[in-house]
Amino acid sequence: MGAAPLDLYDYATQAAKRGARLARADPEPIAVIDDWPYVLPITDAEVRIIEAHFGDVLDDLFGPLP
């Protein structure tokens, strides 16, 4: 008899445990900057894609188009 076959299904072994990270004593606040324009341009192709994928959801939220 030859050697035992390799266990090819045992690939999901436990990962090595990592030590816990210590939090910084005094974290700095994150600055959030909103520099987007008030009106965002959107193309006709983008509108068609949104309507194709989210039409049912948009109808539920806002009602059908008149």
Note the pLDDT tens digit of each residue in 1-60. Answer: 567 667 666 666 666 677 677 666 777 888 888 888 889 899 999 999 999 999 899 889
Residue 20's identity, in one-letter code, is: A
Give domain status of residue 35, yes or no.
no
Give domain status of residue 32, yes or no.
no
pLDDT band at 63 (very low <50, low <70, confident <90, very high): confident
Give domain status of residue 62, yes or no.
yes
**Domain count for the chain:** 1
DSSP annotation of 9 reads T
Give domain status of residue 63, yes or no.
yes
Q: Tell me the two tokens of residue 14.
A: 């436990």
Q: Which domain holds residue 58?
A: 40-66
Give domain status of residue 60, yes or no.
yes
Give domain status of residue 65, yes or no.
yes
Give domain status of residue 59, yes or no.
yes
CA–CA distance, 66 with 51 (Å, rounded to integer)? 15
Q: Are 29 and 22 in contact (CB under 8 A)?
A: no
Q: Are 51 and 58 in contact (CB under 8 A)?
A: yes
User: pTM of the entire structure?
Assistant: 0.38
pLDDT for residue 12 = 64
